[in-house]
Amino acid sequence: MALNIKGDNISGASILGRRCLDLFLDCLQRGRERSKEDLFEQLVVVGRDLIKAQPSMASVFNRINFALSVAKDASVQTVSVEEAKNLISREIRRYQNENEKALERIAEFGSQIISGWDTVMTYSASSLVEAILICTKRSGKRFTVIVPESRPMFEGTRMALRLCQQEVKCSLIVDAAISKFIDRANVLLVGADRVTEDTLVNKVGTRGVALLAKAASVPIYAAFETDKFLPRRYLPVVDRQQDPAQICETTDQYLTVQNIYFEETPLDYFFGFVTEKGIVSPEELGTTLGEPSVIQELTGFSSVELTGGSQC
């Protein structure tokens, strides 16, 4: 199960977070645990494996944390394993419904920062950015989008094609052309895989695009659900080496291929953040995000454990 999540290098954090909870529901249906304690232990094993599969995705961590917190409470509050499973499943579905509503709110809030004449530049692919752009289009605004292809997995190209199906006008560019096209943009909008105390973790290249936007006086916004906030003390930010063949299939003893997917961008590069609670400034973000409460079973991950020893 965790292998499917680990092998997914195209989906964004929001989608992977949702899939993790679906996997939990699947475990609850299929599991044959005899006691509530066995059930909880089994869920902890699955949860830790999923976190190790996608260590940069805060929504994976936070949603597993939510499910395990519910499971822990359920083992005290319920009498039988079946009762516990029913309670956990119900709570997970409730969380997912709330998350769906949060996405709709983000799409609506986000559409308020795009005007009818805007040229929006984005980077990589984000289901939230996509939802914002589609919502803006449906509100009747005539904006255009510049989408870099986002090597090595070309998730930007895929997003551009999906946007075109929704009649959103897109210009697809190679990543190296960002510096040329940034002057034409009048807003940069990106998603996020994770937000820490002082940085936003997203596809590698985000920091570069943000620096170019700053230099070209282009306002920068990021869209994310508040459950993407995860301070470093709960989980270190890691750079895991990905498959070198995604960049270059030829090997040579003198060649080292560095294929990493994520990087951190300081939060103070951004003008504002689009969340389900509204659009907030960097100064207000701390208050908006609050302090997560992490169960003990999910503490103590080491960088080596998360990267499998392949850290850059």
**Binding residues vs another protein (CB under 8 A):** 112-119, 183, 186-187, 217-219, 271-272, 278-284
Residue number, 8 or 108, with CB nearest to another protein = 108
From CA 84, how far away is CA 70, in angstroms rounded? 9
Residue number, 46 or 113, with CB nearest to another protein = 113
CA-only gyration radius of the chain, Å: 20
Neighbours of 95 (CB within 10 A): 17
With contact defined as beta carbons under 8 Å apart, do 17 and 227 qualify?
yes
Residue number, 249 or 291, with CB nearest to another protein = 291
**Phi, psi angle pair for 153, to nearest 5°:** -100, 0
Residue number, 118 or 263, with CB nearest to another protein = 118
Smallest distance, another protein to C-beta of residue 142, A: 11
User: Measured between alpha carbons, how far is residue 169 from residues 86, 118, 187, 307 in Å?
Assistant: 46, 12, 15, 39
Smallest distance, another protein to C-beta of residue 279, A: 6
What do you get for the CA distance between the two ends of the chain, in Å? 26
Nearest alpha carbon to residue 21 among 74, 63, 72: 63
Smallest distance, another protein to C-beta of residue 10, A: 32
Residue number, 179 or 186, with CB nearest to another protein = 186
Identity at 168, one-letter amino acid code: V
Identity at 178, one-letter amino acid code: I
Residue number, 68 or 279, with CB nearest to another protein = 279
